[in-house]
Chains A and B, each alone.
Chain A
Amino acid sequence: MPADAFTLEHLKTILREGAGTDESVDLDADIIDTAFEDLGYESLALLETAGRIERELAISLDEEVLARARTPRELIDLVNTHLPAARAL
């Protein structure tokens, strides 16, 4: 996974691998601003997702900040602020 930007595609791959998908939800639809709750992901699924993001990107995410990310866009933005490219700016 390229470390210069974390994208929705990366997130979808991680969600599928780590937490699985709800049959009633199409992750390939326009979900960027859909609440994780409406996508069938509860807090534990997001904990698993965050853990996978952390180890794949070799970054560390603050749990309390993480808890405020309620949609894919918010989580992606949060992750991107932690990437080395962002930190270098």
Chain B
Amino acid sequence: MTPRTWVTGLGVAAPTGLGIEAYWSATLAGRSAIGRVTHFDPSPYPCRLAGQISGFEAAEHLPGRLLPQTDRMTRIALVGADWAFADAGVVPSELPDYDVGVITASHSGGFEFGQNELRALWSKGGQYVSAYQSFAWFYAVNSGQISIRGGLRGPSSVVVSDQAGGLDAVAQARRQIRKGTGMVISGAVDASICPWGWVAQLTSGRLSTSDDPERAYLPFDDRARGHVPGEGGALMVLENAGHALERGAPRVYGEIAGHASTLDPRPGADRAPTLQNAIELALKDAESAPEDISVVFADAAAVPELDRAEAEAITKVFGPRGVPVTAPKTTTGRLYSGAAPLDLAAAFLSIRDGVIPPTAGSTLSNTYEIDLVTGTARPAELRSALVLARGQGGFNSAMVVRAVDHTRL
């Protein structure tokens, strides 16, 4: 029998809260962290709002040797990994080196670090560039630093497929667990709210130019006008179910039950987009029917044609208003590769507490036939959730997670 992949630890670092409970209470209350950018002066730029993490002091959490060699996203990822391991009741250094892998996703790498070093290169000269630039801005650096910090030598990699990568990395981690690795830390953190990261994101043409935090990021709303970027994400401990039972894992959030990813046809091609295929294939992989899914965490691009494509895909699979749909990322902004791991965390916490967090701010457009949870959190008995993530360039990814029956453990 194929081994089951369970999630036994979560480490959450979101603009709305550091740590599981701070994030979750803000999310259930629909409390937004979107505001004017403070990491740099955004006034010369067409977009000025972001979901920023405040109160994160890396020196309180990480050794001094790591600070000169890490970008902000890596610091947050390292702390998120520490929290996930602690939540799982695991001390990485006490496990055999090759038993634990590290598979994260990345959207852009360590942009702020890279920006500073490139500035030094062009304003002062090559001898002023840090030796740590050699890796600090790599896509793979979060995986690498988590691996080094924990002494984790199992299968490790990075997946880069924009926002979809957050699910694709977890799927890759599940593959490695099925091949025999006992435990993999997975998920993603992105944090590139710096001028260089900002102009890179602006090129997508998908950012909201609103200056009103209440109205800037409104997916599935007639007023949708793009998204607000954010920083952060989540790390999670994935574990072979047998491994978790054997060591007496203190908690099991649920199972990574199914996944699929698809790529859309090229722009202008005479073929339909493929998000619906990704959903159907993920359900098949999970051996689930549409009626088994209790809630959908939407990608929620807030670009009208992308909202339409997502709403139609959901409606085709589940029927009109056939399943509750929500987008708590409206409180954090889109976190790029960090978004879907954070949605996975939200899905597991929804299942744990029997409640669906709201989509903050949006009023559902009457052109979409979906049951969007707006206003306040909705109590519901939840067994299984579908998380969707799309990346620029046609990436679609869908993941099914479900409750583990604790009475049978």
Contact = CB atoms under 8 A, between A and B. Distances in A.
Chains A and B come from one and the same complex = yes
A20 interface: yes
A45 B130 CA distance: 10
A20 B132 contact: no
Given A54-B127, A55-B127, A48 B67 contact: no
Given A20-B64, A20-B68, 16 more contacts: A18-B68, A20-B66, A20-B67, A20-B69, A21-B64, A23-B64, A40-B65, A44-B69, A44-B131, A44-B134, A45-B131, A47-B131, A48-B130, A48-B131, A51-B127, A54-B127
A48 B65 contact: no
A22 B68 contact: no
A63 B68 CA distance: 22
A19 interface: yes
Contacts of B66: 20
A-B CB proximity, top 7 nearest? A48-B131, A20-B64, A55-B127, A47-B131, A20-B65, A20-B68, A21-B64
Contacts of B127: 51, 54-55
Nearest to B125: A55
Interface of A: 17-23, 40, 44-45, 47-48, 51, 54-55
A40 B134 CA distance: 19
Given A51-B127, A55-B127, A55-B128, A19 B134 contact: no
B63 interface: yes
B67 A51 contact: no
8 contacts: A17-B68, A20-B66, A21-B64, A22-B63, A22-B64, A44-B69, A45-B65, A48-B131
Interface string B67-99: 111000000000000000000000000000000
Given A18-B68, A54-B127, A55-B127, A44 B63 contact: no
Contact of B65 (A17, A21, A47, A51): A21
Contact of A22 (B65, B128, B134): B65
Contacts of A45: 65, 131
Interface in B124-144: 127-128, 130-132, 134
Nearest to A41: B65
A45 B66 CA distance: 11
Contacts of B64: 20-23
Contacts of B131: 44-45, 47-48, 51
Contacts of A47: 131
A20 B134 CA distance: 17
Interface in B113-160: 127-128, 130-132, 134
A17 B68 CA distance: 8
Given A23-B63, A51-B127, A44 B132 contact: yes
